[in-house]
């Protein structure tokens, strides 16, 4: 199964892509979102995103459906169809609800690790290599414990970046190079791991 890049078409215009479409940069302080080109609808995937510069509290990383409106994927709640980890350290669920404030926020060159079980609709996040999953000593993707809940039922789910500060920059490693952290047991080393679809195709499916 091929790994993905950031999408050149499923993005807001003020996101620029570089580095073989793995580096996303916000060119101004307006909402600057982009999804991955491929999605995952089943299986277990692991990937990492390095946050290259210090951002403000509204910058986010996470996962999203094709129906999440990129200009509205904001920290602070109100976002639907996305599960987001904000630079402030807060996590917001797919109905816009606050989920957790137990993770450390973004700092310059912090590696953020993601383990996603698309079949079960569960996401685990590490804010820094070797830190606790989801900010909890009991959360463990290898055992399925303590995951943040997302959608199940074969929803096409994309990796997400959104910058709310000018110059916000994130470099994705979707599995084409060695990871900084250890891939959890049972997870594929890369995103997506199982049935994938291009983001434009997912939009056609949703809108049909």
Place of tokens 């692991």: 46
Q: Which CATH class is domain 6-207?
A: mainly beta
Domain ranges in the chain are 6-207
Residue among 28, 11, 25 nearest 64 (CA):
11
Q: What does the pLDDT look like over 34-82, one tens digit per residue?
A: 999 999 999 999 999 999 886 677 789 999 999 998 888 766 555 789 9
Write the CB contacts of 107 (distance below 8 Å, at least 6 apart in sequence).
51, 54
pTM (global) more than 0.85: yes
Q: What does the pLDDT look like over 108-127, one tens digit per residue?
A: 899 999 999 999 999 999 99
Q: Using omega within 30 degrees of 0 as the cis cutoff, is the peptide bond preceding 109 cis?
A: no
């Amino acid at each position: 199964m091929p790994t993905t890049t950031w999408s050149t078409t499923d993005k807001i215009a003020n996101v620029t892509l570089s580095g073989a479409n793995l580096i996303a940069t916000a060119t101004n302080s307006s909402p600057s979102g982009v999804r991955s080109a491929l999605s995952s609808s089943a299986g277990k995937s692991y990937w990492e995103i390095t946050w290259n510069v210090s951002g403000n509290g509204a910058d986010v990383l996470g996962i999203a459906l094709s129906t999440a409106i990129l200009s509205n994927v904001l920290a602070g709640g109100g976002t639907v169809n996305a599960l987001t980890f904000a630079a402030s350290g807060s996590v917001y669920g797919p109905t816009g609800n606050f989920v957790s404030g137990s993770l450390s926020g973004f700092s310059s060159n912090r590696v953020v690790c993601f383990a996603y079980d698309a079949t079960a609709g569960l996401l685990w996040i590490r804010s820094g290599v070797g830190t606790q999953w989801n900010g909890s000593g009991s959360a463990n993707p290898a055992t399925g414990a303590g995951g943040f809940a997302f959608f199940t039922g074969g929803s096409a789910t994309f990796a997400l970046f959104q910058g709310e500060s000018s110059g916000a920059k994130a470099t994705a490693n979707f599995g084409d190079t060695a990871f900084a952290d250890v891939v959890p047991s049972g997870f594929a080393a890369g995103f997506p791991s199982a049935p994938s679809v291009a983001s434009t195709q997912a939009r056609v499916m949703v809108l049909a």
